[in-house]
A and B are shown apart, each in its own frame.
Chain A
Amino acid sequence: DGGITQSPKYLFRKEGQNVTLSCEQNLNHDAMYWYRQDPGQGLRLIYYSQIVNDFQKGDIAEGYSVSREKKESFPLTVTSAQKNPTAFYLCASSRADRTDTQYFGPGTRLTVL
């Protein structure tokens, strides 16, 4: 997990609320990613960014939004439009190189009450 921090570790949300998950990296990586993990489904890509002020939708972007104002930071907002937000959210980063490894943060577990 070294070099990538996510906060908070646990987050509880009431239905209808937006919540923002933080992801910061000090690895000087250009590319950053958000994944959602559900039991038995592996990891699914929500959004990714390869440069400041640019980001693209992944496979399951509906109900989520992101920003990339700084190279080190890639926050994810889970909006009230996300129908089933309870999941484990993982942030990752890598160099902008097809051969490079993605390194992951420790994750945030979001629970909707």
Chain B
Amino acid sequence: AQSVAQPEDQVNVAEGNPLTVKCTYSVSGNPYLFWYVQYPNRGLQFLLKYITGDNLVKGSYGFEAEFNKSQTSFHLKKPSALVSDSALYFCAVRDMNSPLLTGTASKLTFGTGTRLQVTL
């Protein structure tokens, strides 16, 4: 079974400071990892993903994430936070080696989300 943990319900950061939103995962094989952002009453927007290769993945809006296999983590980071970054952030995982769902659709498992609050 695959699972994702986001240990912090909320992260508070001052504008201009670096931010980190934590994510750890559990899979039996190798992971595909994703970060999404959700603004109030909106759908999820894709930020970035790790499939293979460089452990540091760069994504949209200046966000990046670092894949750490030994710590089974995929923390989201940004060097300088903006007030407009305030939103709900979700980490998701798919086991590369898990059996596919019927046909070729495959299942993403989401964390419970971390609310990022950036203040002036």
Contact = CB atoms under 8 A, between A and B. Distances in A.
- Do A and B interact with each other, yes or no? yes
A21 to B, nearest CB: 13
A88 B40 CA distance: 11
Interface on chain B toward A: helix, strand, loop, or mixed SS? loop
Interface stretch (B44-52, B62-70, B78-86): B44-52
Given A42-B113, A98-B32, A98-B106, A48 B43 contact: no
Contacts of A58: 107
* A interface secondary structure, majority: strand
A92 B43 CA distance: 9
A17 interface: no
B45 A96 contact: no
A51 interface: yes
Interface of A: 1, 4, 6, 30-31, 33, 40-43, 45, 48-51, 54, 56, 58, 88, 90, 92, 94, 96-99, 101-107, 109
